Chain A
Amino acid sequence: MQLLIERIARYNDQLAFRQLFLHFCDRLIHFAGTFLSSREEAEEAVSDVFIKLWQHREKLPEIANLQTYLYKAVKNTALNYQARIKHIYTDIDHISVKINAQAPSPEEALISRENLQQIEQAVNRLPPRCKLIFKLVKEDNLSYREVADILDISMNTVNVQMSIALRKLGKAIDLSHPPSFYLSKK
């Protein structure tokens, strides 16, 4: 990552910039989608952030944590759009990203396919804010501190929301009917 940043900032390397974009775009577009009503708007918000990033590329090395910087920039841009488009969301309580759960592989799965689907439904039924935090931690691999920083909330809130999510999803895991091979192993 550091090398990519240097290539962009020092050598105006468009290919490096492209790589950077590809690395982050899926996550950032989903993230933007939690504040905006359409995918097009989400793409536009992320594009805007990257346009500014390219125009001020010489300052890239000064950014301490590029990852959280990008999430925050996307959030602010998306919130500005909300004001512009006059969609009234008072909170981040609008989230439309559907999340799929995946077991490592059929052999290693400790739960049945039906149960996996139930968990998936449980994720998508989580309260919006809780789901967003869970997604940032589990899918985007952000630390609690980074999530707190990006969303401007306390570490404690992240903790509480994560424990709610984990508990609800944990409860959805069916321990009484493990898949047949799991039994045969015993």
Chain B
Amino acid sequence: MEQEQRLWELLAMQHSGELNELELEELERLKNVFPDAVKQFNILNTLSFNAEKLSARRKEQLMDGILMAAGDAEIEAPPGKPRKGTLIALLLIVLAIGPAVGWWLLSARRSGSGQQEWSTIQVRKGSRSKVTLPDGTVVFLNAGSTLSYPNDFTNAVREVKLSGEGYFKVVTMAEHPFVVYTPALDISVLGTEFNVRAYQDEQQTEAVLISGKVEVILKDKEQRRFTLSPQQKVLVSNEIRETTAADTVMKLKPAAKPLIAVEKVLQDAKDSSFVETAWVENKFAFRNESFEVLAQRMERWYDVVIEFKNDALRSTNFTGSVDNESLPELLKILQETKRFNYTISSNKVIFY
């Protein structure tokens, strides 16, 4: 009996790799004496043990609470130790009353009263962020983007200004349309999910609708409007501001990019994802994208400066997707499709 107990002890110790040679010998000897215990031990090793998991929704709630409390404490706390216990308590009450009121409390503290004051969220290059607006709408912001919204978010129209790229999950409020303003187009919705890419250093602004219905208002001279259906995207040239409807047709040179284009977005057959929204999942994805545009995106995604010494490379197209990879890893993958050389020094990348 005592011998068998010793066997279990040795089996347990073996797991941590702490057995010396003598003990290993002893283990082998005891294994032969108690074959049933060995069988039981082996079967036990095939089993997995799990405790109950939290719902994804609850995890999201906790995460939002953490970021809110952490951000708030940073602003409020004097150099000493912030009192987190109280903050959590406050946060829980705030969540119970409703996010709108909670946000109002926070933003009121941030910038005092004032009728048309706007709050701005800036996301640095190389970084991404997620914000929850006072109405519960969730916005993912890509690298190098800016989102502004009025501190008083109870107006008839919920309005935000976007420069850069954002993925919006808009909470439905029938009496309060949600409008995203960008220089080339505005998007008006009641409740839906869509992605807007409006970087001012790019040639075009792009909006992709995932579900629901959105109205797009062009910033051309006639302020033309049209609706977008799910899985459609609209591409609008950032030069649209100076044009009229006639220009769209007339000025079109054969090779020039159209001022406006509406396309169907392609869904990945395997995981039904979209290239346009992959960044929300931390993926850097591109389909048939020119190296020139890709380089601009890499500059923001990895916070680097890119220079082309070989202009022919600019028009090379790439398709692919990387998950959390570093810049050198991504470049290695690109080099598999097209031969090019590069150097990286601190934050500068040169292609030649």
Chain A partners chain B: yes
Give me the interface of A with B, judged by CB distance under 8 Å.
3-4, 7, 10-19, 21-22, 25-26, 29-30, 43-44, 46-48, 50-52, 54-55, 84, 97-104, 108-111, 116, 119, 123, 134-135, 137-139, 143-145, 155, 158-160, 162-164, 166-167, 169-171, 173, 175
Q: How far is the CA of A16 from the CA of B85 in the complex (A)?
A: 25
Q: How far is the CA of A15 from the CA of B283 in the complex (A)?
A: 11
B344 to chain A: which residues have CB within 8 Å? none
Contact A21 B40 (CB under 8 A): no
Question: Is B333 in contact with chain A by the CB < 8 A criterion?
Answer: no
Besides A14-B127, A169-B44, 12 other CB < 8 A contacts? A10-B126, A14-B130, A15-B129, A26-B51, A44-B88, A46-B62, A51-B66, A51-B73, A102-B48, A104-B48, A163-B11, A173-B39
Contact A135 B51 (CB under 8 A): yes
Contact B50 A100 (CB under 8 A): yes
Give me the interface of B with A, judged by CB distance under 8 Å.
5, 8-9, 11-13, 15-16, 18, 36-37, 39-41, 43-44, 46-54, 59, 62-63, 65-67, 69-70, 73-74, 82, 84-85, 87-88, 124, 126-130, 140, 282, 303, 324, 326
> Would you mind naming 19 contact pairs between A and B with Cβ atoms under 8 Å apart?
A4-B324, A10-B126, A11-B127, A15-B130, A29-B54, A51-B84, A99-B50, A99-B51, A103-B47, A110-B46, A116-B47, A119-B47, A139-B48, A144-B18, A155-B18, A158-B16, A159-B9, A163-B5, A163-B11
Min C-beta distance of A80 to chain B, whole Å: 9
A134 to chain B: which residues have CB within 8 Å? 49
A46 to chain B: which residues have CB within 8 Å? 62
Contact B49 A162 (CB under 8 A): no
Contact A18 B44 (CB under 8 A): no
Main DSSP-derived SS at the A contact region: helix
Contact B303 A11 (CB under 8 A): yes
State the 5 A-B residue pairs at the shortest beta-carbon distance, nearest first: A163-B12, A170-B40, A144-B16, A11-B127, A167-B8
Interface centre among A15, A48, A123 (most CB of B within 10 A): A15
Shortest Cβ distance from B77 into A: residue? A55
Q: How far is the CA of A166 from the CA of B8 in the complex (A)?
A: 7
B59 touches which of A13, A25, A137 (Cβ 8 Å)? A25
Contact A101 B48 (CB under 8 A): yes
A159 to chain B: which residues have CB within 8 Å? 9, 12-13, 16, 18
Min C-beta distance of A167 to chain B, whole Å: 4
Contact A21 B66 (CB under 8 A): yes
Min C-beta distance of B85 to chain A, whole Å: 8
- Check A100/B16 contact, CB under 8 A, given A18-B63, A110-B43, A173-B43: no
Q: How far is the CA of A52 from the CA of B46 in the complex (A)?
A: 38
A50 touches which of B66, B126, B140 (Cβ 8 Å)? B66
B74 to chain A: which residues have CB within 8 Å? 55
Contact B54 A26 (CB under 8 A): yes
Contact A166 B127 (CB under 8 A): no
Contact B127 A12 (CB under 8 A): yes
- Check A145/B69 contact, CB under 8 A, given A110-B43, A170-B40: no
Contact A103 B46 (CB under 8 A): yes
B36 to chain A: which residues have CB within 8 Å? 175
Shortest Cβ distance from A50 into B: residue? B66
B49 to chain A: which residues have CB within 8 Å? 99-102, 123, 134-135, 138-139
B54 touches which of A10, A25, A44, A109 (Cβ 8 Å)? A25
B37 to chain A: which residues have CB within 8 Å? 170
Min C-beta distance of A67 to chain B, whole Å: 16
B12 to chain A: which residues have CB within 8 Å? 159, 162-163, 166
A162 to chain B: which residues have CB within 8 Å? 12, 15
A166 to chain B: which residues have CB within 8 Å? 8, 11-12, 41, 44
Q: How far is the CA of A29 from the CA of B54 in the complex (A)?
A: 9
Q: How far is the CA of A104 from the CA of B47 in the complex (A)?
A: 7
B88 to chain A: which residues have CB within 8 Å? 44, 47-48, 51
Shortest Cβ distance from B69 into A: residue? A51
Contact B84 A52 (CB under 8 A): yes
Q: How far is the CA of A3 from the CA of B326 in the complex (A)?
A: 8
Contact B127 A13 (CB under 8 A): yes
B47 to chain A: which residues have CB within 8 Å? 101-103, 116, 119
A145 touches which of B16, B70, B126 (Cβ 8 Å)? B16
Min C-beta distance of B102 to chain A, whole Å: 16
Contact B46 A51 (CB under 8 A): no
Contact A51 B70 (CB under 8 A): yes
Contact B43 A13 (CB under 8 A): no
Contact B128 A167 (CB under 8 A): no
